[in-house]
Structure 1
Amino acid sequence: MDKINVLLIVTVISIFISLILSFFLLTVKTKYKASNILFAVFLILSAADVSEPLFNLIVEGPSNLGMLRTTLAFLQIPVFYLYVMSVCYYDFMLKPRYLLHLLPFLIVNIVLFPRFYTVDAASKIDFIINRQQMVELQFVHILFHIQFVVYFIAVFMLLKKTKKLYLENHAGTHINSYNWLFQFTIVLTVLYSIALLKNIFKFSDYPYISEWIKFGILVLQPFIVCWYLFKALNNPDLFRNVDSQLQLVAEIILEERNQEQLITHGEKYNEELLKLKRYMIEEKPFLNPSLTIQDISENIQIPTRELSVLINHQLGQHFYDFVNTYRIESAMEILKDVTKSKVTILEILYEVGFNSKSSFNTAFKKHTGNTPTYYRNNL
């Protein structure tokens, strides 16, 4: 089987998987409709991007439709960015202002309009053959490089901020679902970096290297989509617990300093801290696996902003770690109790407020330096 046939088979498989998953995302009933729509659009755009071998069998030579298909790449990264936003923030909504993300795609097609879209077939062929001298194509590739860098920096900054907001305001144990979204972003970053390298070789004296890189990308594409599907099915809750209106504690502190509102005396903080610790010991709110800082704020009647500053700034702990400390202490008491030696580790972690074995083991080892099993066996 030659390279062209392999390429066609892989392309068909990749497109088929992407379209089936897109159909599922668009038709499944869920309250996270915006996320599903955005990821389905991303998959469809990706399918269009890798469809070149199949497209070339149907359409012979350079065409307006072929060029339009190529420029759809300028929509992939913005759509992925919006998808990440929709996953991170539960209150995300598609808004008219997001249409601004279409600008690079529109600019590129406007630039190509005079000397490609409006000319005859012979001129189109000449345009592609002499692509190294065509300023329009040079502009297109430079703009794609810039877009790639800007958007992926924005995605990583968004993920970093959202994780911190989660840790400062939530004690749910779905934080591990952030990790796979981060991993997926890393994979896409590497994939797009390889694609950029392909484009560089395409305009060099070694265009055959570009063809081999393109072949490698096409072969990898179905595996990446399948990997993402596997991860998504194993992490149905995703991140989705952060309110986009929340502020980082560092921002609150800076704002209060600028407004000269920061409390300079520790007496009030000490009173609130005692009130908080008493509530945690007596009421055991940490047993709720989905506990948020807002829940505690309502019950002990300390404003959320003050409580956030108290825990995250004054105690120097994320709310997530603060709550997990009580969960681990409770688990340690159960592990020490000889009358409960038959209770399994899995039962204990659910009892103290965890709903993930990996989260429990990570938190337990962070707090004690040992695994739960080792701790129980070496008392």
Structure 2
Amino acid sequence: MKVVKLNKNVELILACLGAFQSIYLALFSFFERKRHIKNYLLGLFFFSITIRIVKSILWVYLSETPNWFINLGFAAHLAFGPLLYLYTYYFVNEKSWLQINLLHFIPSFIILANSFSLTSNSFWNVGGYSMLLYHQLFYTLIIVYVFINGIAKCQKKEWLWLSLLVGGTVFLQFSYFSNYILGMTPYLLGPIVYGVYVFFLSFFLMKNPQFFYLISRKKKYNNINLSHQDLEARIKEIETLMSVEKPFLDSNFNLKQLSKSLGVPVYVMSHIINDYFNTNFSGYINVYRIEEAKKLLKHKDYQNIKISSIAYECGFNSLSAFNAAFKKHTGSTPSYYKRFIPDL
């Protein structure tokens, strides 16, 4: 088994950062407000990967690693293949959870139950670790199969998210397999690369939080059948209304009022805003409010008007909400924008 030690401090820092980021993603998945089975599966997946990576680092750098923790790491390794398979399956298919799925985790449960008795010399080095790696190779293959067959059901960003998640995990699984079975790669190659890679996953997921409620949203809108022409017409009507009548200036303006104004059911309007504009109603109207505020901040008649007054005039209920939205959309505070950003 090849072991790489480029720089102990660098490896430990990368591993710790990756572990902390994985734990963050696990907690984010668990406590996301849309409680769906796929969120729990994703949370458990990141949690199990964290344990496996930490176990790998401790095994290399801490000679007195407790035997039970080594077995815990192997149990986690046996779990994250099935977890990703089930997550991928439920991501691309609108199915209900079946209790029989728990059978996928029998090997992990067996290792956990014997975590204080299994040793390297009596089990792992005499075939146990090889069985683990072949077990995970099997799950890697069916994950790829489910992913390829589910591409047709995915939108572009959905496909990209699954590609990143599956691709990174396949690399991690193969690095362990290649190290022990093939003797080709260093032992820590997978954990260290994945420790960095998880930050890219985090960035993509934080920028696209809709993946936490995608399945429930698909079920909600599965009876909507808008042609391309109908969709374009509705979008044009929405944008015309917002630009000409500016209903967003009313702080009490809501999705129901917008739907009523255009004679469109609320659920259809919500679907259009979420899918076409890739945001929710609040985020959508805030774009118009911020653009209006930018004009007023530069208008000569508003130079002596308080920023809070401009915020209320543009439809915001509070100055803090206005400041947060303004910085999100422009990258600067309203006061800085007013004083230093040139008027285009």
TM-score by length of 2: 0.55
TM-aligned CA distance change 1:96 to 1:291, over 3 Å:
closer
Distance change (3 Å), C-alpha of 1:6 and 1:235: same
**Is 2:178 the partner of 1:237?**
no
Tell me the alpha carbon deviations over residues 188-235 of structure 1, each in whole angstroms, 9 at most, x when there is no partner: 21221122111225xx6xxxx75xx23332322232211111222233
**What are the Cα deviations for residues 24-46 of structure 1, in whole angstroms up to 9, with x where unaligned?**
22223224x32222111111111
Q: Any conservation in 1 of the 2:18–2:199 contact (CA below 8 Å)?
A: no
Quickly say closer, same or farther: Cα 1:2–1:353, change in 2 above 3 A: closer
Alpha-carbon distance change, 5 to 175 in structure 1, aligned in 2, over 3 angstroms: closer
Measure the CA separation in 2 of the matches of 1:11 and 1:243: 37
Spell out, residue by residue over 1:235-279, the C-alpha distance to the aligned partner (whole angstroms, 9 max, x if none).
3333527989xxxxxxxxxxxxxxxxxxxxxxxxxxxxxxxxxxx
- Seen in structure 2, the aligned counterparts of structure 1 residues 60 and 180 have a Cα distance that, compared at 3 Å, is same
Corresponding residue of 1:11: 15
Residues 22, 44 of structure 1: 8 Å contact kept: yes
* Pick aligned residue for 2:157 from 176, 184, 190: 176
1:41 pairs with one of 39, 44, 51:
44
- Which of 66, 69, 75 aligns to 2:73? It is 69
What is the letter of the counterpart of residue 231 of structure 1? F
Residue 21 (structure 1) aligns with: 25
Letter paired with 2:52: D
Output the amino acid matched with 1:223: V
Q: Is the 8 A contact 2:78 2:136 kept in 1?
A: no
1:1-379 equivalent positions in 2, closer than 5 A: 3-31=7-35, 33-52=36-55, 53-54=57-58, 60=64, 63-93=67-97, 95-106=98-109, 117-118=116-117, 124=119, 128=120, 137-164=125-152, 166=153, 174-200=155-181, 213-238=186-211, 240=215, 292=222, 294-296=223-225, 323-324=227-228, 326=229, 355=276
Gaps of 5+ in 1: 168-173, 245-289, 300-322, 335-349, 358-379
The CA distance in 2 between the partners of 1:79 and 1:87, in whole Å, is 12
Q: Distance in 2 between matches of 1:55 and 1:145?
A: 17
Are the structure 2 counterparts of residues 92 and 223 from structure 1 closer, same or farther at C-alpha, using a change threshold of 3 Å? farther
Deviation at 1:14, TM superposition (A): 1.6
Residues 110-159 of structure 1, C-alpha deviations (whole Å, 9 max, x = no match): 8xx6xx9548xxxx5xxx4xx5xx67535323323332333223223323
One-letter identity of the residue aligned with 1:355: Y
Q: How many residues align?
A: 235
* CA distance in 1 between partners of 2:201 and 2:274 (Å): 29
User: 5+ residue gaps in structure 2?
Assistant: 237-270, 279-344
| CA distance 1:57–1:241, shift in 2 (3 Å) | same
What SS does structure 2 have at the residue aligned with 1:51? Answer: helix
TM-score normalized by the length of structure 1: 0.51
Aligned counterparts of 1:200 and 1:233: Cα–Cα separation in 2: 36
Q: CA deviation at 1:72?
A: 2.1
| Distance change in 2, residues 1:145/1:243 (3 Å) | farther
Deviation at 1:78, TM superposition (A): 0.6
Aligned-partner Cα distance in 2 for 1:160–1:241:
22
Contact persistence 1:85–1:158 (CA under 8 A): yes
Give the RMSD, CA atoms, in angstroms.
Answer: 4.0
1-structure distance, mates of 2:166, 2:74? 22
- In 2, Cα distance between the equivalents of 1:232 and 1:355? 19
